[in-house]
Structure 1
Amino acid sequence: MSSEGSHDFARVRRIVKTDEFSSVFRLRPAQKTAHFVLYTRANELPHARLGVVVAKRFAPRAVTRNTIKRVTRELFRAAKLPAVDCVVRLSRPVNAKTGPATTAALKAELRVEIARLFSSQAPRPAKTATS
């Protein structure tokens, strides 16, 4: 394990309570991709927190839902995010019940979309003021 950044996903880094999810959902989406919506809200903690919502109607198989959650958590841990609460919500179907539950192509596509969401929230390098 690298000492750089946090690679754990302890309970303090999760959004678990319904009212915490609701308070983030009340705000407008921060970013959208083909399959996901990211909601963010600043928090008073020294770290970012993550919540993942994967509805059965968009990913009918548990294997697919768990893959999405696993990939999202993995990318969240790697992202250098400011102190925000992030909720990633699946907003469109990713596959059908008849096809394979998860494929390498699906995982790669999900990884690209979720990485794009988190990179949109990464802190920008400070610009020097010249005026």
Structure 2
Amino acid sequence: MDCSAEEVVDTAGFGFGSSLRLHKTDEFSSVFAFRRVVRGKYFALHYCPNKVGTPRIGLVVAKKLAKRAVVRNLVKRLGRDVFRHAQATLPHYDLVLRLSAKVGDVTKRTMREEMIGLLGRLPK
């Protein structure tokens, strides 16, 4: 039986396909325009209801707050991972996770815990 790695991940329920992401500027703009946000110390989670039927996420990490590409990529990777594990319990929202403070010497655990906390504070 020939299985690709992508098929195995999808059967586990933790895939992160194109349908779970926000791609276009209009999609991001509509979330920001809805003006609902849950704030933490380092992140802001903007949200608005969608008609797709599944939660979707977009990530915004400004160079001003995370100068190095390695740090920006780490923040986005952590955000996608937290979303991937929580998506089954999330309401049908378009979400934008935005870095809102310099991360400096913040640990990965601290960032992950804050992201999980923000997703838990979303209205049902």
Q: TM-score range by the shorter chain?
A: 0.7 to 0.9
**Equivalence for 1:99:** none
2:94 corresponds to 1:93: no
**Structure 1 residue aligned with 2:58, among 51, 55, 58?**
51
Distance in 2 of aligned mates of 1:12 and 1:19: 16
3-state SS of paired residue (1:92): coil
**Equivalence for 1:110:** 111
User: Contact 1:29/1:37 (CA < 8 Å) preserved in 2?
Assistant: no
User: Contact 1:81/1:122 (CA < 8 Å) preserved in 2?
Assistant: no
**Equivalence for 2:81:** 74
What is the root-mean-square deviation in Å for CA atoms of aligned residues? 1.9
Q: Is there any run of 5+ residues in structure 2 with no aligned partner, and where?
A: 1-8
2:48 corresponds to 1:41: yes
Q: Deviations over 1:61-113 (max 9, x none)?
A: 11111111111111101112111100000011111xxxxxxx7x610110111
**Equivalence for 2:25:** 18
The alpha-carbon deviation at position 2 of structure 1 amounts to: 8.9
3-state SS of paired residue (2:62): coil
The alpha-carbon deviation at position 7 of structure 1 amounts to: 0.7
Distance in 2 of aligned mates of 1:122 and 1:107: 26
3-state SS of paired residue (2:107): helix
Percent pairwise identity? 39
User: Contact 2:36/2:48 (CA < 8 Å) preserved in 1?
Assistant: no
Distance in 1 of aligned mates of 2:70 and 2:11: 31
Structure 1 segments (4+ residues) deviating >3 Å: 1-4
Higher helix share: 2
- The structure with the larger Rg is 1
3-state SS of paired residue (2:34): coil
Distance in 2 of aligned mates of 1:91 and 1:65: 12
Name the aligned partner's letter for residue 35 of structure 1. Y
Give me the TM-score of the superposition, normalised by structure 1.
0.80
